Structure 1
Amino acid sequence: MGSPRYVLLAVVILIYLATVLANVTLMLLIFLDTSLHKPMYIFVFSLILNGLIGSTAVWPMVMNILLTNTPLISYEGCLIQAFFILVYGTYTMLTVMAYDRFVSIFKPLQYHTIMTPQKVKQLLFVANFSPTAAVLSLICLSSQLTLCRYKVRKIYCDNLAITSLSCDDSHTIQSRVSNLHGIINTIVFAALPMVLILLSYAKIILLSLKASENARKKTFETCSPHIIIFMNFSLVSLFSLFYNRFNPHLPGEANIIISINYLLIPPFLQPIIYGIKTQEIRQSFSRLRRKSVFCNI
């Protein structure tokens, strides 16, 4: 059991189980506590669900590979895994959450007239359906490429890994369309949302600098969980870009360690950050614990 493979297996199992427990607990808390049925927490619910789906698309398979030392996945399974990972990697929900915080700070008196239940449903639909549809069409295009290689040099499948197996060179129409689709997806669902989020928080910071100390404190308490989540996800996404560039030269254990940063750490940290930084969630959790104690008496 001293093998690095088994050490990594133990680490992945512990973090993944803790991730599932923390995320499911927060989701149940938001679902059961009516005081948390607000736009901010509805968006948090959707965000952590996306993170849970992204990590679950990869890590049970990785645990099986580490346990059996049999690194095999079907082509269909590879396509499905790539689909969920690409959806997980979009910034649409983070952008919607930034918009929600922007409205709450710049238009507090009109917040409830702007963020109506109907508006929340529309934002949820756009944030979830648009990247899902775009990624699905990208995966469908990639699935049409002819394969002449069958070894993925990563511990998980993504679109880059799939297209790298293709016999088609970069000059074929099909390959060009797939590459162009991937670039457009990256711009629309990652680069542009990142810019919008940064601009919104730049305006919030400038406004808070002109406000009173109490107003600055309230603004920080309101926005800090989302800012921390955004910064963490952006850093690990940048780290993932280096991973895509250098992974052919990395040993297997290093591949797994780097992948953990992108696909396991953000979903693990999200419920913890919101639980620590958000007073309403802490209060809701305390009420739930008291109810559980009284029920057991």
Structure 2
Amino acid sequence: MEDRFNITYITIDGYVEMHIYRYLYFVIMFTAYILIICCNSTIVCLIVIHKNLHEPMYIFIAALLMNSVLYSTILTDVLSETKIMSYLACLFQLYIIYTLGGSEFLLLAAMSYDRYVSICKPLQYPTIMTKTNICILLVVAWILPAGQLAVPIGLSADVELCEFSFKEIVCNTAVFNLQCEKSSLLKIYNMIAFLNLLILPVLFVLFTYIRIFIITYRSGREVRRKAAQTCLPHLIVLINFSCFGSFYVLLDQMETEFPQIMRLIMSLQVLLYHPLFNPIIYGLKMKEIYQHLRKFVKMFLKP
């Protein structure tokens, strides 16, 4: 059998003192996994069940939280005892992680556009944010990252490796540094994808919110209060995710040696913090969701 048909295995060696803190890592990951599933699924179910939440803004929130549920499937692999996986499986994991990450930014951009139309063009809102347009925005948010990221994954699938271990806890773009010949074309393409899926959506969100704040500043206090009530949670989530996401991606692209503990902390932040942060922000800061959530908790705790 030719070499190109052989299965190449790589070692995921991003944990610090794995032999000492093995059970601590397991408890942290398992607890976070359960919380992510429960918190995000609860709010998604509330949005699905209650008809007054069947509005574009809440539909986009449900899609965003579903991303977190899908993202949590990565944790099941992190919980496994074996830290050795095939190169192709690693590329597939990388593909899932970055596709969901890219769709998150595009969903945040869609949410900001919805708020912009609602606040700045209220009379045109029913004709612009139709069910068809909402479906188009959702499909684009999931299909565009999947299609764009399929190119570097496909190009890297049959590349020869000279190293077989890297200091991460999940597969990310650092795996490209294991290749014998590092393609400058691939690096350029990755930066273009980074621009399209992270930088441009963030700039679009900032532009729409600046427009919203300018228009609401000229309006009454009640308009400003309602705008802040609906826009502030989205802005908090955007700032949180864009800061962690951009730093994490750039850290992977840089070949400079960083302390392993720093890489571990950043990986845990991206894997655990953001999927837990989203349902808390939307559950507590969005008035309509909070009211239904409070009723659900009272009913659940009722003896």
What TM-score, normalized to structure 1? 0.87
Query: CA 1:119–1:76 in 2, change beyond 3 Å: closer, same or farther?
Result: same
The separation in 2 between residues aligned to 1:36 and 1:110, in whole angstroms, is 20
1:109 — aligned with what?
Answer: 123
State the AA in 2 paired with 1:133: G
* Equivalent residue for 1:24, pick from 41, 46, 67: 41
Deviation by residue 1:214-265 (Cα, 9 ceiling, x = unmatched): 11111100111111110110121243146434784323x5433221111221
1:250 — aligned with what?
Answer: 259
The separation in 1 between residues aligned to 2:219 and 2:175, in whole angstroms, is 51
Shift of 1:144: 3.0
State the AA in 2 paired with 1:177: L
* Equivalent residue for 1:278, pick from 277, 286, 291: 286
Q: Decide whether the 8 Å contact of 1:95 with 1:194 is kept in 2.
A: yes
- Look up the SS of the partner of 2:163 in the other structure: coil
Q: Decide whether the 8 Å contact of 1:243 with 1:258 is kept in 2.
A: no
The separation in 2 between residues aligned to 1:265 and 1:292, in whole angstroms, is 26
1:219 — aligned with what?
Answer: 227
- Look up the SS of the partner of 1:109 in the other structure: helix
1:1-297 aligned within 5 A: 3-57=20-74, 59-64=75-80, 68=81, 70-90=82-102, 91-158=105-172, 160-169=173-182, 175-241=183-249, 243-244=251-252, 245=254, 248-251=257-260, 253-289=261-297
The separation in 2 between residues aligned to 1:38 and 1:284, in whole angstroms, is 15
The separation in 1 between residues aligned to 2:30 and 2:186, in whole angstroms, is 35
Counting aligned pairs with the same residue, the percent is: 32
The separation in 1 between residues aligned to 2:256 and 2:32, in whole angstroms, is 23
- Number of equivalenced pairs: 283
Query: CA 1:141–1:19 in 2, change beyond 3 Å: closer, same or farther?
Result: same
- Look up the SS of the partner of 2:180 in the other structure: coil
Shift of 1:18: 0.8
Is 227-236 or 146-155 further displaced after alignment?
146-155
The separation in 2 between residues aligned to 1:192 and 1:164, in whole angstroms, is 26
Shift of 1:23: 0.8
State the AA in 2 paired with 1:87: T
Query: CA 1:242–1:132 in 2, change beyond 3 Å: closer, same or farther?
Result: closer
The separation in 1 between residues aligned to 2:217 and 2:41, in whole angstroms, is 37
The separation in 2 between residues aligned to 1:201 and 1:14, in whole angstroms, is 36
- Look up the SS of the partner of 1:264 in the other structure: helix
Q: Decide whether the 8 Å contact of 2:198 with 2:246 is kept in 1.
A: no
Shift of 1:186: 1.0
Q: Decide whether the 8 Å contact of 2:106 with 2:141 is kept in 1.
A: yes
The separation in 1 between residues aligned to 2:61 and 2:114, in whole angstroms, is 11
Is 283-292 or 118-127 further displaced after alignment?
283-292
Q: Decide whether the 8 Å contact of 1:239 with 1:262 is kept in 2.
A: no
Shift of 1:118: 0.8
Q: Decide whether the 8 Å contact of 1:148 with 1:166 is kept in 2.
A: yes
State the AA in 2 paired with 1:277: K
Shift of 1:29: 1.3
Is 5-14 or 112-121 further displaced after alignment?
5-14
Q: Decide whether the 8 Å contact of 2:166 with 2:174 is kept in 1.
A: yes
Deviation by residue 1:161-209 (Cα, 9 ceiling, x = unmatched): 222111124xxxxx24322321221111111111111111111122222
State the AA in 2 paired with 1:92: L
- Look up the SS of the partner of 1:73 in the other structure: strand
